[in-house]
Amino acid sequence: MNLGFKVDVTGLKHRHPGQDHPVLVESLNIAAGEKSAIIGPSGCGKTTLLSAIAGILVPTEGEVCVGDETISSLGERERRSFRRDKIGLVFQEFELLEHLDIRENAFLPLWLDGVEAGEKDHALLEQRASRCGIADLLHRKPHALSQGERQRAAVCRALMTTPPLILADEPTGSLDTGSGEAVLELLFDEATLTGSTVIVVTHDRSLLDRFDKVHELSGREVS
Amino acid sequence: MTSPLIRLAIKSLLHHRVRSLVLVLCIALIGVLPLAVEGFLKLYRTELESRSLSTPLAVGAPGSRSDLLIHALYFRGEVEKSIPMKIAREVAELGRVTPVPIHLEGTVRDHPLVGTTPDYLSYRNLKLAGNGQWPQRLSEAVIGSAVAKKQGLAVGDKVPTDSEELYDLGGGYPLVLKIRGVLEPAGTPDDEAVFVSLQTSWVVAGEGHGHIAVDPKIDFHLIMENKSDNVTMNAAVLEAVDVTPENEGSFHFHGDPDDLPLTALLVDAPNNKGLTLARSNLRRNEELLVLDSKSELDELLGIVMQAKVILDMNSLLVLLATIILLGLIVTLDVKVREREVKTLERLGAPRGFVARLLFTEIAIVVGMGAFLAFITARAAISWVASGSLPTF
């Protein structure tokens, strides 16, 4: 088991080009190993916050700390490397590459690091795929899978590097209630096994009671 | 082991296989022409040069230098005027060198009919296959290996020369040639030629002829006019003249044998000294055109190379257009693959990874196109070199 990262966001302010109002997050603190939900109305900046935590964007102002690293002050190269190695990402639209099969999609984080998947990685994938319920689907291309199976495959990919932090942006948004619950269950089970911190942006209030904490974007803790 | 980058590039190319295939074919098509032209020119140049090096001195009547060169070395085209046979005798009298007379007149199934002497065999280091013999008698012939192969001819077969003037009833008739030998392949224009004695060649050219014995009682259907002192025969009914032991003696040449025509004269010299002497003697005769084959050929090839520069410029422009087009395709491709690119970036692809991925894909496509172009050009050149198409 690895120790998950704590996440601290302080005074975050980010203005997207052409947007009138900047995204504001006064303070957000997520403890290591915690499973947190981020909620808020559309356009309030949930995805912006997640992107800032992931180091995909650098906020105009404020500080984002992930683990012991102040990711908002890292250079582009370091942020990419940090994201590759330490963060698992799950997206609403799965973002699986259509020209790769599920096995290759799962190994993509390794390939981006210039690393060829070894025997250990194959064994790990088999294990994870089995727990994700996609062990028989590894040779298939994404278009040959159902929506739920694709999101399971995306979760499997996010877990391949055993990241201390898992960020999921509306992971259930494209799924029916049953499939959404199953995917979230899977994400939590795997995070529990590895001790990873999980932050999920969601609209689905019926899922909130499954989280340790729920944060509203205004920074006000709601439960 | 394939690097992950190359693997990703190959996977992407295979996923868009129609687009990839079209791109590879386009690049191959663009590349094959200049590569093939370069190869053909090299091949022809080598063949032409080797022939000119083995034929240092060619002599003919004044006129076009290139016509004489092509005629004497490669048995192609005609020369404006001929030179008399006595030139060959005079060269022989010089000593040190051997004249190799050439009389090129007529064709056999479109292959050049070359009248020459047995010296031609040793001059060109030609060998007869099997137990063939060089023509000893009138109407006997030796054929090149390519002629034998293409026309399905062998020793013992008979083949008529081609009609020169099909509707000229008063003209010379095709002569039936008896094949006495087939040359071993030499990879030179000799493979495509039919060799006969000078006498046979002169008969074909109408310089000599024979008489056919006609019995008015038997051959009455050939008689056009029958007077008490003269019988006029219908010439149109004869399809070809066949030299037989019975009529061979009737063949003869009118006039001085020294004046019989040669279309070219090659000079076989054992060393440079003999060659220089022969050249200097022949050049004193203003009625002759004396060519140094190598320098003439270089001049001729220089003109061809100038034409190639234009072709190279054209290829360069096509290449530039292709690069621009390729750039456009890549730009559009990045747009189409925006989502894929975004995913790679979000998953933490190293800086420049996407650019390297696209570059690798382009490199693979260009590489495959170039390889295909190279293979196709090589196959075309080999096909030509193997004799499937006529070479010089």
Interface check A80 vs B, CB under 8 A? yes
Residue B1 has pLDDT above 70, yes or no: no
Q: How far is residue B243's CA from residue A16's CA, in Å, rounded to a whole number?
A: 103
Segment A80-89 mean pLDDT: 93
Q: How far is residue A69's CA from residue A65's CA, in Å, rounded to a whole number?
A: 6
β-pairing, A213-216 with A35-39?
parallel
- Per-residue pLDDT, B117: 92
User: What's the pLDDT tens digit per position in B303-320?
Assistant: 878 888 888 888 889 889
Task: Report the residue from B4, B343, B345 with minimal CB separation from A97.
Answer: B343
Reported as a pLDDT band with limits 50, 70 and 90, residue B133 is: confident
- Could B347 and A114 be called an inter-chain contact, meaning their C-beta atoms sit closer than 8 Å? no
Of residues A177 and B121, more confidence is placed in: B121
Q: How far is residue B85's CA from residue B258's CA, in Å, rounded to a whole number?
A: 5
User: Domain extents for chain A?
Assistant: 7-216
User: What's the pLDDT tens digit per position in B252-274?
Assistant: 777 788 888 999 999 888 888 88
Residue B72 has pLDDT above 60, yes or no: yes
Tokens of A61: 């102002």
- Could B11 and A116 be called an inter-chain contact, meaning their C-beta atoms sit closer than 8 Å? no
**Nearest CA-CA distance, residue B27 and chain A, Å:** 24
Reported as a pLDDT band with limits 50, 70 and 90, residue B144 is: very high
- Per-residue pLDDT, B280: 87
- Name the strand (E) or helix (H) holding B182: strand B176-182
Nearest to A171 by CA among A163, A159, A179: A179
Any alpha helices (H) in B54-124, and if so which ranges?
Answer: 65-74, 86-94, 119-123
Phi, psi of B195 (to 5 degrees): -105, 135
- Could B350 and A112 be called an inter-chain contact, meaning their C-beta atoms sit closer than 8 Å? yes
Reported as a pLDDT band with limits 50, 70 and 90, residue B34 is: confident
Task: Report the residue from A82, A85, A95 with minimal CB separation from B343.
Answer: A95
- Name the strand (E) or helix (H) holding B329: helix B293-336
Q: Which residues of B touch A156 (CB under 8 A)?
A: none
Tokens of B220: 């009455």
Q: Which residues of A touch B346 (CB under 8 A)?
A: 54, 56, 83, 89, 91, 95
Reported as a pLDDT band with limits 50, 70 and 90, residue A201 is: very high
What is the sign, positive or negative, of the torsion defined by CA atoms of B34, B39, B43, B49?
positive
pLDDT above 70 coverage of chain A, percent: 96
- Per-residue pLDDT, B252: 72
Residue A8 has pLDDT above 80, yes or no: yes
Segment B363-384 mean pLDDT: 93
Q: Which residues of A touch B353 (CB under 8 A)?
A: 112
Reported as a pLDDT band with limits 50, 70 and 90, residue A219 is: very low
The CATH H-level (homologous superfamily) assignment of domain A7-216 is P-loop containing nucleotide triphosphate hydrolases (3.40.50.300)
Segment B183-197 mean pLDDT: 92
- Per-residue pLDDT, A15: 84
Tokens of B198: 């000078």
Nearest to B233 by CA among B206, B252, B215, B253: B215
User: Exposure pattern of A32-68 as b/e (b: 16+ CB <10 Å)?
Assistant: ebbbbbbbbeeebbbbbbbbbbbbbbbbeebebbbbe
**Opening angle at CA B50, ends B45 and B53, nearest 5:** 120
- Per-residue pLDDT, A204: 85
Reported as a pLDDT band with limits 50, 70 and 90, residue B217 is: low
- Per-residue pLDDT, B97: 85
User: What's the pLDDT tens digit per position in A185-199?
Assistant: 888 988 888 899 999
Query: How much is the mean pLDDT over chain B?
Result: 84
Q: Calculate the dihedral angle through the C-alpha atoms of B112, B113, B118, B120, rounding to the nearest 10 degrees.
A: -20
Task: Report the residue from B339, B346, B350 with minimal CB separation from A89.
Answer: B346
Task: Report the residue from A98, A112, A116 with minimal CB separation from B349.
Answer: A112
Segment A112-121 mean pLDDT: 89
Of residues B239 and A114, more confidence is placed in: A114
Nearest chain A alpha carbon to B352 = A77
The DSSP string of B332-359 is HHHHHTHHHHHHHHHTTPPTTHHHHHHH
Q: Which residues of A touch B16 (CB under 8 A)?
A: 99
Q: Calculate the dihedral angle through the C-alpha atoms of B26, B31, B37, B39, rounding to the nearest 10 degrees.
A: -130
Task: Report the residue from B3, B347, B350 with minimal CB separation from A108.
Answer: B347
A interface test, pick of B18, B339, B347 with most A CB neighbours within 10 Å: B347
Task: Report the residue from A77, A98, A109 with minimal CB separation from B347.
Answer: A109
- Could B346 and A104 be called an inter-chain contact, meaning their C-beta atoms sit closer than 8 Å? no
User: What's the pLDDT tens digit per position in A46-67?
Assistant: 889 999 999 999 998 999 999 9
- Per-residue pLDDT, A36: 95
Interface check A87 vs B, CB under 8 A? yes
- pTM to 2 decimals? 0.69
Residue B390 has pLDDT above 80, yes or no: no
